[in-house]
Structure 1
Amino acid sequence: MSQPDRPEHLPSAFATGLACRCPRCGEGPLFSGYLKTVKRCESCGLDLTWAAETEGPAVFIILIVGFVIVGAAGVVEALFHPAPFVHLLLWLPGTVILSLLLMRPLKALMVALQFHNNSGEGRLDE
């Protein structure tokens, strides 16, 4: 990913990522669908085609959601001892909903961090 027209002052990667905005200007939307990134920022014109296959947030979502759901299930089990079907009714929808809520902002955060750190594909220097 080359960024020859990188401005001096960039908005915070965390602010633009969690707001799902362009990592360079912080104005234009990053997504055209739920997880489909725009090809070009409508505000500053940044080419975002390199961000189309960013799937790195899946690991973080698994870890965060797993920690929250397993912790909550442990607390509920220790306090109330519900039947197994109650655990299924509580934690399966909770897992899906929490995963879907985290997916978009964490993908945007990953794209913003990649842009800010000027990361790209690994290459062997020859």
Structure 2
Amino acid sequence: MDSIEAPTTWTTSFMRGCRRKCPRCGEGAMFRGYLSIADHCSACKLPFEPLRADDAPAYFTIAIVGHIVVSGLLMLESYAHPPTWVQLAIWLPSTAIMSLAMLPYLKGAVMAAIYCSNKDA
């Protein structure tokens, strides 16, 4: 496990978190379910309990998805003028799918950022 002993950069740890892997070693899974955090890394035994992301991943998800959906909705409206039911049929499922797809990865990224800020302190 040379990667544990070698200091990791903030970028490396953050990218590992974006992949839902341990920010320290990049090998163990950070989650045991969709959003359920594992107790510790299976490879390096880093405890994940202190890396509490709370509501930050949801806020980031809403901000990103909101920008994409509102931009798409306004562009479609200005170019094609579809009926309201078409807009709803496109953007409601898109919002739900994008939100559910992004949330676990953003939670991993936030947890990795917390790890990086705590490791330097």
TM-score greater than 0.5 by the shorter chain: yes
Name the CA distance, whole Å, in 2 between partners of 1:53 and 1:103: 11
Q: Give the gaps of 5 or more residues in structure 1.
A: 1-5, 120-126
Deviation (angstroms), 1:59: 1.0
**Could you tell me which residue of structure 1 aligns to residue 8 of structure 2?**
10
Query: Within 5 A, what are the aligned runs for 1:26-105?
Result: 26-51=26-51, 54-105=54-105
Asked if 1 retains the 8 angstrom alpha-carbon contact of 2:69 and 2:95, the reply is yes
Asked if 1 retains the 8 angstrom alpha-carbon contact of 2:52 and 2:111, the reply is no
Indicate the SS of the match to 1:95: helix
CA distance 1:32–1:52, change in 2 (3 Å):
farther
**Once superposed, what is the RMSD of the aligned Cα atoms?**
1.7
Q: Deviations over 1:34-58 (max 9, x none)?
A: 0001001100011112235633111
Asked if 2 retains the 8 angstrom alpha-carbon contact of 1:57 and 1:110, the reply is yes
**Could you tell me which residue of structure 2 aligns to residue 106 of structure 1?**
106
Detail structure 1 runs of 4+ shifted over 4 Å in the superposition. none
Which amino acid counterpart does residue 59 of structure 1 have in structure 2? Y
**TM-score computed with the length of structure 1 as normaliser:** 0.83
Indicate the SS of the match to 1:102: helix
**TM-score computed with the length of structure 2 as normaliser:** 0.87
**Could you tell me which residue of structure 2 aligns to residue 3 of structure 1?**
none
Name the CA distance, whole Å, in 2 between partners of 1:63 and 1:9: 32
